[in-house]
Amino acid sequence: MHLVLFLIFAGFCLAGAINLLIQRHPITSALSLIVVMTSLAVLYLLLGAEFLAAAQVIVYAGAIMVLFTFVVMLLNASREERTLGSRAAAVLGFPAIVVILALIATVILHAQGLSTAAMREGITSTQDLSTVLFTNLLLPFEVTSVLILVAILGAVALARRGAGEGTEGQ
Amino acid sequence: MNIASVHMFSDVPLSWYLLLSAALFCLGVVGFLIKRNLITVFMSIELMLNGVNLSFVTFAHQWHAVKGQIFVFFVMMVAAAEAAVGLAIIIAVFRARSTLAVDRIDLMKL
């Protein structure tokens, strides 16, 4: 059961990621990224991270990708064109990335005590996670909320400044 | 419990999850290199972050440590902030240059 679910959603993940690369239109890339993120949420659920699966769907597949699709539609992004730079990057980059992937794969497959580690019974529950998050790591949590506030203000300021300059110029 | 019953049939080695995570990360790097649209380049960065998150969750599961999941939580929050600011910058760049092609946004290149 676990194996079947893993294979199905790992396949969805890889297919979505590859589709993101080969599609030329940004909106199709955004939709395939949503497929990747939703499948990753299922994989988190298989690994016993229920809270993260929910957060992945809400934050990533929900909030962030809605933002992406809004921007793609707002800017009326068209098909990208292949240029000299992209061809050079493809020619040089693909072998390098294949080498890097092979290196990581050999390290992972030769890692001690990892390849034999099957899935365990016990699940770290959301309760454990929140206990640690709100006792030991309370300060980083609050700092993160300040960070998000600053990011909101920064985003509004960046997006508004162009409009203000536009009206001043008229 | 439903999730527990899924875990009864668990025989997937954790290295498969790590391999999937490495593959997602490398696909993100490839996208970052070959895509020529600013928004799609940004999406490739999100793909890399997701690949790293998967290996965090895998290691958290292996060692029964909740810290790994908390790391993923913080990565998600920072990614949300980064996406908001980054997309605002993209909108500002588009207003200034009227293009999204990364080859034409080269003002700061030597």
pLDDT band at A113 (very low <50, low <70, confident <90, very high): low
pLDDT at A44: 92
pLDDT at A2: 81
Q: Are residues A143 and A75 in the same domain?
A: no
Is the residue at A100 inside a domain?
no
Mean pLDDT of A45-66: 90
Is the residue at A88 inside a domain?
no
B11:A154 CB<8 A:
no
The SS3 call for residue B101 is: strand
Chain B residue nearest residue A36, CA to CA: B47
Domains belonging to chain B, first-starting first, are 12-97 (1.10.287.3510)
Among A25, A54, A81, identify where a domain stops: A81
- Computed on alpha carbons and rounded to an integer, the radius of gyration of chain B in Å comes to 18
pLDDT at A90: 77
Q: Are residues A3 and A67 in the same domain?
A: yes
pLDDT at A170: 39
Q: Which of A155, A75, A39, A141 is nearest to B83 (CA)?
A: A155
Is the residue at A110 inside a domain?
no
Among A23, A47, A81, identify where a domain stops: A81
What sign does the dihedral A87-A89-A92-A98 (CA atoms) show? negative
Q: Are residues A24 and A75 in the same domain?
A: yes
Q: Are residues A71 and A128 in the same domain?
A: no
- A2, A119 contact by CB (below 8 A): yes
Is the residue at A167 inside a domain?
yes
The residue ranking higher by pLDDT, A169 or A66, is A66
Q: Is the pLDDT of residue B3 over 60?
A: no
Q: Which of B60, B81, B86, B83 is nearest to B71 (CA)?
A: B60
pLDDT at B5: 46
Q: Are residues A74 and A128 in the same domain?
A: no
Q: Are residues A75 and A138 in the same domain?
A: no
Q: Is the pLDDT of residue B15 over 70?
A: yes
| C-alpha to C-alpha distance for A7 and A15, rounded to whole angstroms | 12
Is the residue at A75 inside a domain?
yes
Q: Is the pLDDT of residue B1 over 50?
A: no
Phi/psi at A139 (5° precision): -65, -50
* Total domains present in chain A: 2
pLDDT at B105: 81
| C-alpha to C-alpha distance for A68 and B41, rounded to whole angstroms | 12
Q: Does A140 touch chain B (CB under 8 A)?
A: yes
Is the residue at A68 inside a domain?
yes
Any bridge partners for residue B101, and if so which? B37
Among A60, A81, A102, identify where a domain stops: A81
Q: pLDDT tens digits, residue range A135-150?
A: 988 999 999 999 999 9
CA distance B84 to chain A (A): 6
Report the share of chain A in percent with pLDDT over 90: 39
The residue ranking higher by pLDDT, A1 or A21, is A21
What are the tokens at A85? 């730079």
Is the residue at A99 inside a domain?
no
Is the residue at A6 inside a domain?
yes
CATH code of the domain containing A54? 1.20.120.1200
Alpha helices in chain A (DSSP H): 2-22, 26-46, 50-55, 65-74, 84-110, 126-135, 138-169
Any bridge partners for residue B37, and if so which? B101
What are the tokens at A129? 């996670």
Q: Is the pLDDT of residue A161 over 90?
A: no
Report the share of chain B in percent with pLDDT over 70: 89
Q: State the average pLDDT for chain B.
A: 85
| C-alpha to C-alpha distance for B24 and B32, rounded to whole angstroms | 12
| C-alpha to C-alpha distance for A22 and B31, rounded to whole angstroms | 9
CA distance B82 to chain A (A): 7
Whether this model's ipTM surpasses 0.90 comes out as no
Mean pLDDT of B84-102: 88
Q: Are residues A69 and A130 in the same domain?
A: no
pLDDT at B87: 92
Q: Are residues A75 and A130 in the same domain?
A: no
The residue ranking higher by pLDDT, B81 or A84, is B81
> Which residues in A lie closer than 8 A to residue B7 (C-beta atoms)?
2, 48, 119-121, 123
pLDDT at A168: 46
| C-alpha to C-alpha distance for A96 and A33, rounded to whole angstroms | 24
* DSSP at B37: B
| C-alpha to C-alpha distance for B50 and A36, rounded to whole angstroms | 9
Q: Does A75 touch chain B (CB under 8 A)?
A: yes
Q: Are residues A6 and A77 in the same domain?
A: yes
**Residue ranges making up the domain that contains A147:** 124-170
A124:B64 CB<8 A:
yes
Q: pLDDT tens digits, residue range B26-78?
A: 999 998 988 888 899 999 999 999 999 999 999 888 888 888 889 999 999 99
Q: Are residues A133 and A61 in the same domain?
A: no
